[in-house]
Amino acid sequence: MKNYLVNIDKRFLDVIKKIGQESDRQKMSAYIVGGIVRDILLKKKNYDLDIVIEGNVKKLAQSLAKKLKAKAIFYEQFGTATLNLENKLRIDLVTVRKESYARSGALPNVKLGTLRDDLFRRDFTINAMAMGINHSNFGHLIDLFNGKEDIRHGKIRVLHDKSFIDDPTRILRAVRFEQRFQFHIERHTLSLLKKAIKNKLTDNVTPTRYFVEFKKMLCEKSPVPNLRRLKGLGGFYFLHPQFKINLRHVNAVHQNIQKMRRKSMYKDQNQWWMVYLLAIVTHLSGDQRKGFGKKVHLRREEAKSLAQLEDCSEIMKQFLRKSLKRSEILKMLHSLEESVIFYLRAKTNQQQSHQYIDRYWSVDKNVQLSISGEDLKQIGLHEGKKMGRMLNEIYYHKIDKHIQTKQEELKLAKQLY
Ligand code: CTP
C-alpha cells in the first residue's frame, strides 16, 4: 500500500513518527485525520495536526509531551488534549468519537465510537479521510467515502443529507473550501446547502459560533470570491436581515490591502480580517453595527473598531486638506484601533492620505519624548493636568520637528512654563 507520508516536511514527519511509535508502545491505533490528510493529498502545507486514537488520550498525551518537549493542555470534559510544540506546531489528540445532534445547530452529543463513526461525523468527504501512523500502516490512506476521488474531481460533497441541518456553519465551510481550492460544490450538496439557507437554518446556530466560521473566511488569502459566492447564495442575512454587501467597496479595499501587505511596515500585521469586516459593515448604521458586535460577541477592541468607523469620513475629509501638520495627523490617528487605521489607508487610492498614514505608522507613532514629568518637576511644575498638557505640547513640537534634542525639549518646557 502507498505511503503518503514520504514527501512531507522532514521535521513534521519526525513528529508524526514519534507519535506513531509511542502509540505502538501503548498498543493504541493512531491516525491523522481531517484537513491535514486533505492537504497532504493536495500537496499543500498544513501544520495543524489532528490525531484520533483508539485508546486513552490522556495517557498518550502525557508521554508524548515528555518525548516531544511539548506543553500539554487537557480538556477533561471533552476527552481531548492539545500539545504545543516549540516550533509553533500544534497537535490535537482526540479519541475516536461518534456524534449526534439533538437539534439543528446544537452542539453535538459525543460518544465513544469507531474510526468509521469518527470520519462519518465530518463535514465533507475531502475532510473525512484518515492516515495510519502506527508501524503496521504508516502513511496508508483510509478513505471510506471517496474523498480522494472528490479531491481529484474538485468536488465538495457532504457525507449525508442531514449535514447542513446538523451543523449549519458548514454552509460557510463549503463556500470557503470551494473558493480556496477552486473546487465546486457538488450538485446535490449545493441543493442541500441552498435549502438550508432558504430555511434560515443558520438562525439555529449561536451567532458567535457562526461568526467564528465567518471570520475564517475573512482570514483566507482572497476573501472577496468567498463573499461574492456567499452573496450569490443569499447567505448574508446572519449579519443583519436587510444587509446588502457592497462587494465593489470590499474589493477596492482588498486591492489596497494586497499592496500594503507587500510593504515592510505593514507586513507583520495580522489584523487584516478585521479590516475586511470594517469594509463589509461600513454601510450599516452605527446602531446596526453595535447590535451586530454584541450579537457575535466581538472582543472589546474589535467592537471599538466598529464604533470608530463613525470618525472615518471626517478624517478622510481632513486628509484632503493640503499640508496638514504631522502633529495634526497624529491627533487624528493616535486613538484609533490599528485595524481602523489600516482600513482608512485601504479604503482610499488618494496618494496624500497614503503618505500621511504611512509616515504616521512608520515614524511618528514611535516618537517619544526624552524628558519626563520628573524633569518638569525640577523646573517647578507640579504633577497634574497642567503637566500633562505641557508634555503633550512639547511632544507635538517634537513630532513637527521643531525640536529634537533633550536640551531643546527642556528649553521649550521652560519657555512654556
Ligand atoms: N469539521 C467538521 N465540521 C465542522 C468543523 C470541522 O466536520 N463544522 C471537521 C473536518 O473534518 C475538518 C476538521 O474537523 O477537516 C478540522 O476542522 P478545522 O480545523 O476547522 O478545518 P480544516 O479542515 O483543518 O481546515 P483549515 O485548513 O481551514 O484549518
Pairing relationship of beta strands 141-142 and 155-156 according to DSSP bridges: unpaired
Does the structure show a pLDDT above 80 at 129? Answer: yes
Q: Is residue 159 part of a domain?
A: no
At which of 150, 173, 194 does a domain end? 150
DSSP per-residue string spanning 1-43: ---TTSSS-HHHHHHHHHHHHHHHHTT-EEEEETHHHHHHHTT
- What DSSP state is assigned to residue 329? H
Number of folded domains in the chain?
A: 3
The confidence score (pLDDT) of residue 21 equals 97
Mean pLDDT of the chain: 92
Do 137 and 18 share a structural domain? yes
At which of 150, 173, 199 does a domain end? 150
Do 403 and 354 share a structural domain? no
Tell me which of 93, 100, 127 to substitute to probe ligand 1's pocket, judged by most ligand atoms within 8 Å of the beta carbon: 127
Do 351 and 294 share a structural domain? yes
Do 396 and 316 share a structural domain? no
The Cα 231–Cα 123 span in angstroms is 21
Does the structure show a pLDDT above 90 at 255? Answer: yes
Q: What share of the chain in percent tops pLDDT 90?
A: 74
The confidence score (pLDDT) of residue 256 equals 97
Do 18 and 138 share a structural domain? yes
At which of 343, 365, 387 does a domain end? 365
Mean pLDDT value across residues 27-36: 96
Q: For ligand 1, atom 25, name the residue with the nearest CA.
A: 35
Q: What are phi and psi of 298, to 5 degrees?
A: -65, 150
**Alpha carbon of 300 to ligand 1 centroid (Å):** 27
**Alpha carbon of 170 to ligand 1 centroid (Å):** 9
pLDDT digits (tens, 9 = 90+) for 174-203: 999 999 999 999 999 999 999 999 999 999
**Alpha carbon of 40 to ligand 1 centroid (Å):** 15
The Cα 404–Cα 394 span in angstroms is 10
Do 383 and 265 share a structural domain? no
**Alpha carbon of 33 to ligand 1 centroid (Å):** 10
Of the pLDDT bands very low, low, confident and very high (cuts 50, 70, 90), residue 173 is very high
Using CA atoms, how far residue 411 sits from 30, 144, 318, in Å, is 72, 79, 32
Q: Can you give the pTM of this predicted structure?
A: 0.92
Of the pLDDT bands very low, low, confident and very high (cuts 50, 70, 90), residue 244 is confident
- What DSSP state is assigned to residue 76? G
Mean pLDDT value across residues 137-165: 97
pLDDT digits (tens, 9 = 90+) for 213-237: 999 999 999 999 999 999 999 888 7
Residue 226 identity (one-letter amino acid): N
Q: Give the lowest-confidence range in 283-287, 308-312, 348-352.
A: 283-287
Of the pLDDT bands very low, low, confident and very high (cuts 50, 70, 90), residue 346 is very high
The confidence score (pLDDT) of residue 179 equals 98
pLDDT digits (tens, 9 = 90+) for 369-387: 988 888 888 887 777 888 8
Q: Is residue 34 part of a domain?
A: yes
Does the structure show a pLDDT above 80 at 70? Answer: yes
Pairing relationship of beta strands 130-132 and 29-33 according to DSSP bridges: antiparallel
Mean pLDDT value across residues 155-162: 98
Q: For ligand 1, atom 13, name the residue with the nearest CA.
A: 34
Q: Is residue 292 part of a domain?
A: yes
* In contact, 265 and 358? CB cutoff 8 Å: yes
Structural domain that includes position 387:
367-416
The CATH number of residue 357's host domain is: 1.10.3090.10
Pairing relationship of beta strands 90-95 and 130-132 according to DSSP bridges: unpaired
Pairing relationship of beta strands 29-33 and 48-54 according to DSSP bridges: antiparallel
Q: Is residue 313 part of a domain?
A: yes
Q: Give the lowest-confidence range in 330-334, 339-343, 371-375.
A: 371-375
**Alpha carbon of 71 to ligand 1 centroid (Å):** 23
The CATH number of residue 23's host domain is: 3.30.460.10
Alpha-helix residue ranges (DSSP H) falling in 153-206: 163-166, 170-181, 187-198
Q: Is residue 339 part of a domain?
A: yes
Q: For ligand 1, atom 27, name the residue with the nearest CA.
A: 35
Query: What residue has cell string 493616535?
Result: 334
Q: Is residue 52 part of a domain?
A: yes
Do 358 and 271 share a structural domain? yes
The confidence score (pLDDT) of residue 352 equals 93
**Alpha carbon of 47 to ligand 1 centroid (Å):** 13
Do 377 and 361 share a structural domain? no
121 Cα nearest atom in ligand 1: 7
Q: Is residue 127 part of a domain?
A: yes
Report which of residues 319 and 413 the model is more confident about.
319
Do 354 and 411 share a structural domain? no
SS (H, E, C) 250-289: HHHHHHHHHHHHHCHHHHCCCCHHHHHHHHHHCCCCHHHH
Q: Is residue 293 part of a domain?
A: yes
172 closest CA partner among 181, 164, 162: 164
Mean pLDDT value across residues 256-280: 94
Ligand 1, CB within 6 Å, residue ranges? 34-35, 46, 48, 50, 122-123, 127-128, 167, 169-170, 173
The Cα 256–Cα 195 span in angstroms is 36
400 closest CA partner among 331, 320, 348: 331
Do 142 and 25 share a structural domain? yes
Of the pLDDT bands very low, low, confident and very high (cuts 50, 70, 90), residue 32 is very high
Does the structure show a pLDDT above 90 at 8? Answer: no
The Cα 264–Cα 352 span in angstroms is 19
Do 361 and 372 share a structural domain? no
Do 276 and 393 share a structural domain? no
Q: What share of the chain in percent tops pLDDT 70?
A: 100
